[in-house]
């Protein structure tokens, strides 16, 4: 045997073995395991995301109501937090500022908020031609931008369920207006939000008659 043949044989023996590929059965098993994991985790992730969105929207609504209360006191004008249960949106509107001549009486505040058929937004007094009387108010009534938009619409997957007032009356459609008084008072009102109308956690934004606001959550069994 020549030295060349000897070296060639040793070189062939030292070559690494080719890597073994996955068989079709192994690939099917891996895909099945991944599918099971996805089937378990995706619904939990989606549910967690929905709860997070509902919590965020509850805090946004709370911030909007507190902003309205602060501006009402600062401008000595009644602000209105309007919840539209049909379009799933809400907005802030400012009543005309009239010094100590407040737009909402204490009796009205204790009676509760206003449904779409029972309230009118306060406005400046008008003259013969329908124009505001000069000097009648310090600032005109109008909508107020919140979160850089005139009206904030709830994102997909989050709903207003209902609005309840101090008397226990509940509203699930139409527009509900909550006056925010410059003196720090408000109609005792609770606004309910959820990511699932039947099974999801329910977040409630409570605006107290004394002006205090808070967010509570009712956990559903899962």
With a cut of 60, say whether residue 48 has pLDDT above it: yes
Tell me the pLDDT band of 154, cut-offs 50, 70 and 90.
very high
Give the pLDDT confidence score for residue 13 in this predicted structure.
57
Give the pLDDT confidence score for residue 40 in this predicted structure.
77
Give the pLDDT confidence score for residue 86 in this predicted structure.
95
DSSP string, 70-106: HHHHHHTS-EEEEEETTTTEEEEEEPPP-TT--SS-H
Tell me the pLDDT band of 198, cut-offs 50, 70 and 90.
low
**Global model pTM greater than 0.85:** no
**Residue 111, token pair as written in the block:** 């009676």
Give the pLDDT confidence score for residue 221 in this predicted structure.
56
Task: Catalogue all structural domains in the chain, each as residue range(s) with its CATH number.
Answer: 24-218 (3.55.40.10)
Quote the CA–CA distance of 34 and 9 in Å, as a whole number: 46
CA torsion angle for 189, 110, 80, 99 (degrees, to 10)?
Answer: -150
Q: What share of the chain is helix, strand, coil (3-state, %, to 5)?
A: 30, 25, 40
Q: Which residue has the tokens 């023996």?
A: 13
Give the pLDDT confidence score for residue 210 in this predicted structure.
85
With a cut of 80, say whether residue 175 has pLDDT above it: yes
Give the pLDDT confidence score for residue 118 in this predicted structure.
44
User: CA angle at residue 139 from 151 to 189, to 5 degrees?
Assistant: 45
Mean pLDDT of 84-105: 74
């Amino acid at each position: 045997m020549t030295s060349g043949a000897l070296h060639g044989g040793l070189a062939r023996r030292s070559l690494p073995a080719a890597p073994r590929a996955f068989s079709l059965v192994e690939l099917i098993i891996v895909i099945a395991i991944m599918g099971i994991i996805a089937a378990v985790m995706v619904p939990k992730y989606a549910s967690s995301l929905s709860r997070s969105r509902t919590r965020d929207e509850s805090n946004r609504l709370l911030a909007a109501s507190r902003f309205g209360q602060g501006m009402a006191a600062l401008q000595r004008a009644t602000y209105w937090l309007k919840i539209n249960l049909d379009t799933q949106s809400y907005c802030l509107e400012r009543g005309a500022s009239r010094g100590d001549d407040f737009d909402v009486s204490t009796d009205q505040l204790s009676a509760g908020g206003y449904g779409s058929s029972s309230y009118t937004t306060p406005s400046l007094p008008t003259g013969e031609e329908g124009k505001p009387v000069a000097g009648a108010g310090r600032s005109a009534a109008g909508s107020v931008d919140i979160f850089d938009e005139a009206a904030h619409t709830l994102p997909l997957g989050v709903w207003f369920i209902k609005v309840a007032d101090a008397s226990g009356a509940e509203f699930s459609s139409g527009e509900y207006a909550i006056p925010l008084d410059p003196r720090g008072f408000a109609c005792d009102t609770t606004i309910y939000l959820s990511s699932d109308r039947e099974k999801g956690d329910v977040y409630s934004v409570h605006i107290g008659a004394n002006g205090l606001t808070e967010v509570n959550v009712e956990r559903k069994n899962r």
